Amino acid sequence: MNEVESMNEVESISEVESMNEVESMNEVESMNEVESISEVESISEIESISEVESISEVESMNEVESMKEVESMKEVESISEVESISEVESINEVESINEVESMNEVESMNEVKSINEVENMKEVESMNEVESINEVESMNKVESMNEVESMKEVESISEVESINEVESISEVKSINEVESMKEVESISEVESICEVESISEVESINEVESINEVESMKEVESMNEVESMNEVESMNEVESMNEVESMNKVESMNEVESMNKVESMNEVESMNKVESMNEVESMNEVESMNEVESISEVESINEVDSINEVVGECAALLKGSVAIERAY
């Protein structure tokens, strides 16, 4: 455990992109296919400790006495010590992995309503203090992502303070394997964050379009008002033809009624447009939630062929991230 320098080193996205070239990720089948943590052959499939909403029910992770005895994460024979990982039925259906007792008490990434409402990620001092990653209701127990300047620079929310705090992820074989797995997980997390950003851009485009539609509706209304004023003026000019005046009055009443009908129709249309905008926003929010859920759905990172190469590259990236953090 002494060789783990710190897992909360924040790297830049440009450095994360180079990690996407790792050839040994070919066997990662699908981020969406993890059916159940109970079926997880390897705890390396858990992409990020920070994404586990509330892995608060692992009662006996502290009972693992010796990591030297762990021959392989695939060969973990004593998940009997982990009493309630089997209770987690599906990461896709995870509304709260509150049944897992103590994986650093990360409470609820699934309660993230919308990452679009993040006002200023440069002001995020701590993941406990995250005010608005879409009104994250309960990320307060994540101990230290203290100087996260930008969500794009957060290479890995899973790099919680230190591997030293993870006493035993079901008899982990070696800390080096855990490091490489978590850094690979952070690549998928950054990709999903970029996808969420693109969703927010689409929402902003939709909002601009709806604003333009409202403006065009107001222009149509103002044109209708000008026409009605012209009609009233023409009625006032007919002073000496009483019969014509009465006819014009009837006509103007009918015109006023028709104008009112047109305005009410426009109002109904604008209400429908507002409703459709809200529906689009809610759909986008649901999509962003689904994407956040899919961050944790890598099926088996144990199939990575060359962990040593990844570790070497990750070590170089960690050194770079230290320099970046010091520069900030």
pLDDT for position 322 = 56
Residue 208 has pLDDT above 50, yes or no: yes
Residue 235 has pLDDT above 50, yes or no: yes
- Rounded to two decimals, what is the model's pTM? 0.17
The whole-angstrom separation of Cα 300 and Cα 40 is 8
Mean pLDDT score, 18-41 = 44
- From the list 33, 31, 41, 73, the residue with the least C-alpha distance to 189 is 31
pLDDT for position 257 = 66
DSSP 59-119: TTGGG---GGG---STT---TTSSTTSTT---STT-S--TTS-BSTT--BGGG---GGG--
CB-based contacts of 222, cutoff 8 Å, min separation 6: none
Mean pLDDT score, 2-13 = 44
Percent of the chain at pLDDT > 70 equals: 0
pLDDT for position 87 = 45
pLDDT for position 302 = 46
CB-based contacts of 156, cutoff 8 Å, min separation 6: 7, 48, 50, 182, 183, 185, 186, 189
User: Which of 152-166, 272-286, 294-308 is most confident?
Assistant: 272-286
Mean pLDDT of the chain: 52
Q: Which residue has the higher pLDDT, 306 or 221?
A: 221
